Amino acid sequence: MSELSELSSLLSFLAANRGISLRDAARATGLRVDQICRRLEVLSFCGVPPYSPHDYVSYRLVGHGDDAVIDLQYAQHFARPLNFTPGEALALKYALEHFAGGADEESVGLLAELQEMLANALHGRARELMARTGRGFVVPRKAKVMREMLQTLQDAIDRRRACELEYFSSHRARLSSRRVYPFQVVEHDAAFYLYGWCETAQATRHFRLERIREVRVTDQRYDRRPPPSRKSGRMAGLFEGKPGDSLQVRFAPEVAREVQNDWASAPGAKVQAGRDGSLLLTLPLYNPHWAVGFVASFGPFARIVQPRWLSAELAATVRSILQSHKQG
Protein backbone atom coordinates (compact mmCIF):
# COMPACT_ATOMS: atom_id res chain seq x y z
CA MET A 1 0.00 0.00 0.00
CA SER A 2 1.23 3.52 -0.71
CA GLU A 3 2.40 5.67 2.15
CA LEU A 4 0.11 8.43 0.89
CA SER A 5 -2.95 6.25 1.36
CA GLU A 6 -1.71 5.17 4.79
CA LEU A 7 -1.13 8.75 5.93
CA SER A 8 -4.33 10.20 4.50
CA SER A 9 -6.39 7.39 6.06
CA LEU A 10 -4.85 8.00 9.47
CA LEU A 11 -5.38 11.73 9.08
CA SER A 12 -9.08 11.25 8.31
CA PHE A 13 -9.44 8.81 11.17
CA LEU A 14 -7.85 11.18 13.69
CA ALA A 15 -9.78 14.16 12.31
CA ALA A 16 -13.04 12.23 12.80
CA ASN A 17 -12.03 11.01 16.26
CA ARG A 18 -10.51 14.09 17.84
CA GLY A 19 -9.69 13.45 21.47
CA ILE A 20 -9.05 9.73 21.06
CA SER A 21 -6.29 8.32 23.26
CA LEU A 22 -3.12 6.86 21.78
CA ARG A 23 -4.05 3.50 23.26
CA ASP A 24 -7.52 3.45 21.66
CA ALA A 25 -6.16 4.75 18.36
CA ALA A 26 -3.65 1.90 18.37
CA ARG A 27 -6.40 -0.63 19.12
CA ALA A 28 -8.59 0.76 16.39
CA THR A 29 -5.92 1.03 13.72
CA GLY A 30 -3.82 -2.05 14.32
CA LEU A 31 -0.78 0.21 14.58
CA ARG A 32 1.58 0.41 17.54
CA VAL A 33 1.61 3.60 19.59
CA ASP A 34 5.14 4.43 18.42
CA GLN A 35 4.05 3.99 14.78
CA ILE A 36 1.17 6.42 15.31
CA CYS A 37 3.52 8.94 16.90
CA ARG A 38 5.97 8.69 13.99
CA ARG A 39 3.19 9.24 11.48
CA LEU A 40 1.87 12.21 13.44
CA GLU A 41 5.33 13.74 13.13
CA VAL A 42 5.25 13.30 9.36
CA LEU A 43 1.73 14.71 9.13
CA SER A 44 2.75 17.83 11.04
CA PHE A 45 4.97 18.81 8.07
CA CYS A 46 1.99 18.84 5.72
CA GLY A 47 -0.01 21.92 4.91
CA VAL A 48 -1.54 24.07 2.21
CA PRO A 49 -0.67 27.52 0.84
CA PRO A 50 -0.26 30.21 2.04
CA TYR A 51 1.41 28.24 4.88
CA SER A 52 0.46 30.44 7.74
CA PRO A 53 0.63 28.55 11.07
CA HIS A 54 -3.00 27.50 10.77
CA ASP A 55 -2.41 25.98 7.35
CA TYR A 56 -0.22 23.16 8.69
CA VAL A 57 -1.68 20.05 10.25
CA SER A 58 -0.75 20.17 13.90
CA TYR A 59 -1.26 17.99 16.92
CA ARG A 60 -0.49 17.85 20.59
CA LEU A 61 -0.63 15.01 23.04
CA VAL A 62 -2.51 15.86 26.21
CA GLY A 63 -1.63 13.56 29.09
CA HIS A 64 0.99 10.91 29.54
CA GLY A 65 2.02 7.64 28.00
CA ASP A 66 -0.47 5.58 26.06
CA ASP A 67 -3.37 7.34 27.79
CA ALA A 68 -2.40 10.67 26.22
CA VAL A 69 -5.18 12.16 24.10
CA ILE A 70 -4.47 13.23 20.52
CA ASP A 71 -5.62 16.76 19.83
CA LEU A 72 -5.40 17.16 16.06
CA GLN A 73 -5.90 20.58 14.47
CA TYR A 74 -6.09 22.20 11.06
CA ALA A 75 -6.81 18.97 9.19
CA GLN A 76 -10.29 19.91 8.10
CA HIS A 77 -9.55 19.25 4.42
CA PHE A 78 -9.08 15.60 5.26
CA ALA A 79 -12.04 15.23 7.59
CA ARG A 80 -13.92 13.18 5.01
CA PRO A 81 -12.03 10.06 4.03
CA LEU A 82 -11.06 9.32 0.46
CA ASN A 83 -12.83 6.72 -1.64
CA PHE A 84 -11.34 3.24 -1.30
CA THR A 85 -8.53 2.33 -3.63
CA PRO A 86 -9.30 -0.86 -5.61
CA GLY A 87 -6.88 -2.78 -3.39
CA GLU A 88 -8.56 -1.55 -0.20
CA ALA A 89 -11.99 -2.52 -1.55
CA LEU A 90 -10.79 -6.05 -2.33
CA ALA A 91 -8.93 -6.49 0.95
CA LEU A 92 -12.03 -5.51 2.92
CA LYS A 93 -14.34 -7.64 0.78
CA TYR A 94 -12.12 -10.71 1.17
CA ALA A 95 -11.73 -10.11 4.92
CA LEU A 96 -15.50 -9.78 5.44
CA GLU A 97 -16.08 -13.03 3.55
CA HIS A 98 -13.40 -14.89 5.48
CA PHE A 99 -14.65 -13.51 8.80
CA ALA A 100 -18.21 -14.60 7.95
CA GLY A 101 -16.99 -18.20 7.60
CA GLY A 102 -16.51 -18.36 11.37
CA ALA A 103 -19.34 -16.05 12.45
CA ASP A 104 -22.78 -16.83 13.88
CA GLU A 105 -25.96 -16.31 11.84
CA GLU A 106 -26.67 -12.83 13.22
CA SER A 107 -23.16 -11.61 12.42
CA VAL A 108 -23.28 -13.15 8.95
CA GLY A 109 -26.44 -11.10 8.27
CA LEU A 110 -24.79 -7.92 9.57
CA LEU A 111 -21.70 -8.57 7.45
CA ALA A 112 -23.83 -8.95 4.32
CA GLU A 113 -25.57 -5.66 5.17
CA LEU A 114 -22.24 -3.94 5.60
CA GLN A 115 -20.97 -5.22 2.30
CA GLU A 116 -24.06 -3.97 0.49
CA MET A 117 -23.90 -0.61 2.25
CA LEU A 118 -20.28 -0.25 1.20
CA ALA A 119 -20.90 -1.20 -2.38
CA ASN A 120 -23.52 1.57 -2.51
CA ALA A 121 -21.32 4.13 -0.78
CA LEU A 122 -18.15 3.65 -2.82
CA HIS A 123 -17.39 5.13 -6.21
CA GLY A 124 -15.80 4.00 -9.43
CA ARG A 125 -13.62 0.92 -9.60
CA ALA A 126 -13.81 0.29 -5.85
CA ARG A 127 -17.59 0.09 -6.09
CA GLU A 128 -17.46 -2.31 -9.06
CA LEU A 129 -15.03 -4.60 -7.26
CA MET A 130 -17.01 -4.61 -4.04
CA ALA A 131 -20.24 -5.43 -5.86
CA ARG A 132 -19.11 -7.86 -8.56
CA THR A 133 -16.01 -9.74 -7.44
CA GLY A 134 -16.37 -13.40 -6.54
CA ARG A 135 -14.74 -15.09 -3.57
CA GLY A 136 -10.99 -14.64 -3.12
CA PHE A 137 -9.89 -16.84 -0.23
CA VAL A 138 -12.11 -19.92 -0.13
CA VAL A 139 -11.95 -21.88 3.11
CA PRO A 140 -14.01 -24.90 4.20
CA ARG A 141 -17.26 -23.96 5.87
CA LYS A 142 -17.39 -24.18 9.65
CA ALA A 143 -20.30 -26.15 11.06
CA LYS A 144 -23.10 -24.16 12.69
CA VAL A 145 -22.40 -25.72 16.07
CA MET A 146 -18.81 -24.46 15.87
CA ARG A 147 -19.83 -20.95 14.90
CA GLU A 148 -22.24 -20.86 17.83
CA MET A 149 -19.56 -22.12 20.19
CA LEU A 150 -17.26 -19.38 18.93
CA GLN A 151 -19.91 -16.78 19.76
CA THR A 152 -20.53 -18.27 23.21
CA LEU A 153 -16.83 -18.09 23.99
CA GLN A 154 -16.55 -14.53 22.68
CA ASP A 155 -19.38 -13.48 24.98
CA ALA A 156 -17.69 -15.21 27.91
CA ILE A 157 -14.39 -13.44 27.16
CA ASP A 158 -16.17 -10.13 26.79
CA ARG A 159 -17.93 -10.54 30.15
CA ARG A 160 -14.86 -12.14 31.74
CA ARG A 161 -16.72 -15.23 32.85
CA ALA A 162 -15.05 -18.52 33.72
CA CYS A 163 -16.10 -21.49 31.59
CA GLU A 164 -16.38 -25.16 32.33
CA LEU A 165 -15.25 -27.27 29.42
CA GLU A 166 -15.72 -30.92 28.72
CA TYR A 167 -12.64 -31.48 26.59
CA PHE A 168 -11.12 -34.38 24.70
CA SER A 169 -7.39 -34.07 25.20
CA SER A 170 -5.39 -35.48 22.34
CA HIS A 171 -2.43 -35.75 24.73
CA ARG A 172 -4.35 -38.01 27.08
CA ALA A 173 -6.82 -39.37 24.52
CA ARG A 174 -9.73 -38.99 26.93
CA LEU A 175 -12.46 -36.60 27.99
CA SER A 176 -11.98 -34.45 31.08
CA SER A 177 -13.64 -31.47 32.73
CA ARG A 178 -11.74 -28.25 33.17
CA ARG A 179 -12.46 -24.78 34.50
CA VAL A 180 -10.93 -22.21 32.21
CA TYR A 181 -10.58 -18.42 32.26
CA PRO A 182 -10.83 -17.59 28.56
CA PHE A 183 -8.60 -14.85 27.12
CA GLN A 184 -8.94 -15.08 23.35
CA VAL A 185 -10.01 -17.34 20.48
CA VAL A 186 -7.21 -17.80 17.97
CA GLU A 187 -7.38 -19.23 14.45
CA HIS A 188 -4.28 -21.19 13.59
CA ASP A 189 -3.65 -23.53 10.69
CA ALA A 190 -7.36 -23.79 9.79
CA ALA A 191 -8.50 -24.58 13.34
CA PHE A 192 -9.82 -22.42 16.17
CA TYR A 193 -8.27 -22.62 19.64
CA LEU A 194 -9.45 -21.17 22.92
CA TYR A 195 -6.50 -19.60 24.71
CA GLY A 196 -7.02 -19.34 28.45
CA TRP A 197 -5.90 -20.11 31.95
CA CYS A 198 -6.68 -23.71 32.92
CA GLU A 199 -7.31 -24.11 36.65
CA THR A 200 -6.65 -27.85 36.43
CA ALA A 201 -3.24 -27.44 34.81
CA GLN A 202 -2.52 -24.15 36.64
CA ALA A 203 -1.11 -22.82 33.39
CA THR A 204 -2.22 -21.27 30.11
CA ARG A 205 -3.50 -23.75 27.55
CA HIS A 206 -4.89 -23.84 24.03
CA PHE A 207 -8.06 -25.85 23.58
CA ARG A 208 -9.02 -26.84 20.07
CA LEU A 209 -12.66 -25.92 19.62
CA GLU A 210 -13.63 -29.09 17.74
CA ARG A 211 -12.54 -31.12 20.76
CA ILE A 212 -14.76 -29.26 23.19
CA ARG A 213 -17.81 -31.39 23.85
CA GLU A 214 -19.61 -28.83 25.95
CA VAL A 215 -19.07 -25.27 27.16
CA ARG A 216 -20.84 -24.02 30.25
CA VAL A 217 -20.40 -20.32 30.96
CA THR A 218 -20.43 -19.81 34.73
CA ASP A 219 -21.33 -16.74 36.80
CA GLN A 220 -17.79 -16.55 38.15
CA ARG A 221 -16.09 -13.35 37.04
CA TYR A 222 -12.31 -13.50 36.75
CA ASP A 223 -9.65 -10.82 36.82
CA ARG A 224 -6.72 -12.91 35.65
CA ARG A 225 -4.94 -11.38 32.67
CA PRO A 226 -3.05 -13.21 29.94
CA PRO A 227 0.64 -13.48 30.83
CA PRO A 228 2.63 -10.76 29.08
CA SER A 229 5.27 -13.20 27.90
CA ARG A 230 3.03 -14.91 25.36
CA LYS A 231 3.43 -13.61 21.85
CA SER A 232 -0.25 -13.32 21.27
CA GLY A 233 -1.44 -13.93 17.75
CA ARG A 234 1.23 -16.53 17.13
CA MET A 235 0.39 -19.98 18.28
CA ALA A 236 3.56 -20.20 20.29
CA GLY A 237 1.51 -21.87 22.97
CA LEU A 238 0.99 -24.97 20.87
CA PHE A 239 4.70 -25.53 20.62
CA GLU A 240 5.60 -24.25 24.05
CA GLY A 241 6.84 -26.21 26.98
CA LYS A 242 9.36 -28.97 27.03
CA PRO A 243 9.12 -31.50 24.23
CA GLY A 244 9.03 -34.96 25.76
CA ASP A 245 11.50 -36.28 23.26
CA SER A 246 12.74 -35.87 19.75
CA LEU A 247 10.71 -37.54 17.02
CA GLN A 248 12.72 -38.91 14.13
CA VAL A 249 10.96 -40.52 11.17
CA ARG A 250 12.42 -41.88 7.97
CA PHE A 251 10.21 -41.50 4.90
CA ALA A 252 10.43 -43.58 1.74
CA PRO A 253 11.30 -41.86 -1.57
CA GLU A 254 7.63 -42.17 -2.63
CA VAL A 255 6.56 -39.59 -0.03
CA ALA A 256 9.86 -37.79 0.66
CA ARG A 257 9.10 -34.85 -1.60
CA GLU A 258 5.67 -34.27 -0.04
CA VAL A 259 7.12 -34.41 3.47
CA GLN A 260 9.90 -32.03 2.48
CA ASN A 261 7.34 -29.58 1.08
CA ASP A 262 5.10 -29.71 4.11
CA TRP A 263 7.53 -29.96 7.01
CA ALA A 264 10.87 -28.42 6.11
CA SER A 265 9.81 -25.01 7.44
CA ALA A 266 7.89 -26.20 10.52
CA PRO A 267 9.08 -24.80 13.86
CA GLY A 268 12.00 -26.84 15.15
CA ALA A 269 12.01 -29.22 12.16
CA LYS A 270 15.13 -30.61 10.50
CA VAL A 271 15.16 -32.61 7.29
CA GLN A 272 18.01 -34.67 5.94
CA ALA A 273 17.94 -36.26 2.50
CA GLY A 274 19.23 -39.82 2.17
CA ARG A 275 21.28 -41.07 -0.79
CA ASP A 276 18.50 -43.48 -1.70
CA GLY A 277 15.95 -40.65 -2.02
CA SER A 278 14.51 -41.19 1.45
CA LEU A 279 14.14 -38.36 3.95
CA LEU A 280 14.86 -38.19 7.66
CA LEU A 281 12.57 -35.76 9.50
CA THR A 282 13.34 -34.66 13.05
CA LEU A 283 10.74 -32.78 15.09
CA PRO A 284 10.35 -31.89 18.75
CA LEU A 285 7.88 -34.40 20.18
CA TYR A 286 5.16 -32.62 22.15
CA ASN A 287 2.28 -35.00 21.63
CA PRO A 288 2.80 -38.75 21.18
CA HIS A 289 -0.83 -39.30 20.10
CA TRP A 290 -0.45 -36.82 17.29
CA ALA A 291 2.88 -38.37 16.30
CA VAL A 292 1.39 -41.86 16.12
CA GLY A 293 -1.46 -40.64 13.89
CA PHE A 294 0.94 -38.67 11.72
CA VAL A 295 3.28 -41.61 11.11
CA ALA A 296 0.47 -44.16 10.72
CA SER A 297 -1.14 -42.06 8.00
CA PHE A 298 1.91 -42.73 5.78
CA GLY A 299 1.40 -46.49 6.11
CA PRO A 300 4.36 -48.45 4.73
CA PHE A 301 6.17 -45.30 3.65
CA ALA A 302 7.26 -44.10 7.10
CA ARG A 303 9.19 -45.67 9.95
CA ILE A 304 9.86 -44.25 13.41
CA VAL A 305 13.60 -44.09 14.06
CA GLN A 306 13.26 -42.65 17.54
CA PRO A 307 12.02 -42.73 20.21
CA ARG A 308 11.79 -46.47 20.10
CA TRP A 309 8.98 -46.62 22.64
CA LEU A 310 6.79 -44.71 20.17
CA SER A 311 7.06 -47.57 17.68
CA ALA A 312 5.28 -49.76 20.24
CA GLU A 313 2.56 -47.10 20.64
CA LEU A 314 2.17 -46.98 16.87
CA ALA A 315 1.84 -50.74 16.64
CA ALA A 316 -0.79 -50.77 19.41
CA THR A 317 -2.81 -48.02 17.70
CA VAL A 318 -2.71 -49.66 14.30
CA ARG A 319 -3.70 -53.01 15.81
CA SER A 320 -6.66 -51.36 17.54
CA ILE A 321 -7.78 -49.86 14.20
CA LEU A 322 -7.41 -53.23 12.46
CA GLN A 323 -9.28 -54.89 15.32
CA SER A 324 -12.18 -52.43 15.12
CA HIS A 325 -12.46 -53.20 11.40
CA LYS A 326 -12.45 -56.96 12.01
CA GLN A 327 -15.30 -56.55 14.50
CA GLY A 328 -17.27 -54.58 11.94
Partner 1 sequence: MAEKLRASERQLNLLGALLKARDGLLWQNIANVEGYNDKLPERSRQKRFERDLHDLRAQGLVVSRDLEDGARARYTLDRAACLMPALNLRPEQRLLMFQVGSAYLRDGEEGPLSSLLSSALLKLQAGAGREGLPAVVPPSLVRRSLRRRPAEAGVLQEIGAALVTRRHIKFRYEAPDGKTSTRTVAPWGMVSRRGGWYLVARDLDRGAPRTYRLSRIRAPLALAWPDRDAPEYDIPDGFDPEVVFSSEAFGAGENSFRNVQIRFDPQVAFIVRNEFEGIYRLDAHSDGGATLHLPQAYAGELLRYLCEFGGHWRILRPAELRQHVMAHLKGAISGKSGGVA
Span 162-201, contacts to partner 1 by CB under 8 A: 168, 170, 173-175, 184-190
Closer residue to partner 1, CB minimum distance, 202 or 261: 261
- By CB under 8 A, the residues from 30 to 69 that bind partner 1 are 30-32, 42-43, 45-51
Supply the minimum distance, in Å, between the C-beta of residue 314 and partner 1: 7
**Binding to partner 1 in span 10-29, by CB under 8 A:** 10-13, 15-18, 20, 24, 27-29
Query: Contacting partner 1 (CB under 8 A), which of 66, 105, 116, 135?
Result: 135
Name which of 233, 235, 196 is nearest 215 in CA terms.
196
Cβ proximity of 209 and 150 under 8 Å:
yes
3-class DSSP state of 223? coil
Q: Give the interface size with partner 1 as a residue count (CB under 8 A).
A: 151
Q: Smallest gap, in angstroms, from Cβ of residue 219 to partner 1?
A: 20
In the bound state with partner 1, the residue whose beta carbon lies nearer, of 202 and 327, is 327
Amino acid at 277: G
Judged by CB under 8 A, the residue of 52, 60, 62, 117 near partner 1 is 117
C-beta of 224: minimal distance to partner 1 in Å? Answer: 14
Question: C-beta of 65: minimal distance to partner 1 in Å?
Answer: 16
Cβ–Cβ < 8 Å for 247, 313: no
DSSP letters, 265-312, are TSTT-EEEE-TTS-EEEEEEES-HHHHHHHHHTTGGGEEEEE-HHHHH
> Is 149 an interacting residue with respect to partner 1 (CB under 8 A)?
yes
Question: CA dist 58 to 2, 17, 37, 55, Å?
Answer: 22, 15, 12, 9
Residues ≥6 apart with Cβ < 8 Å to 254: 301
Asked if 170 contacts 294 with a C-beta cutoff of 8 angstroms, the reply is no
Whose Cβ is closer to partner 1: residue 20's or residue 198's? 20
- Contacts of partner 1 in 284-323 (CB under 8 A): 289-290, 292-303, 314-315, 317-323
Q: Specify whether the CB–CB gap between 279 and 271 falls below 8 A.
A: yes
- Binding residue for partner 1, selected from 36, 205, 278, 285, defined by CB under 8 A: 278
HSE toward the beta carbon, residue 164, CA cutoff 13 A = 6
Residue numbers 237-266 binding partner 1 by CB under 8 A: 250-254, 257, 261-266
Residue closer to partner 1 by CB (options 72, 202) is 72
In the bound complex, what is the minimum distance in angstroms from residue 61's beta carbon to partner 1? 18
Q: Name, in order, each residue with C-beta under 8 angstroms of 311's C-beta and a sequence gap of 6 or more.
A: 304
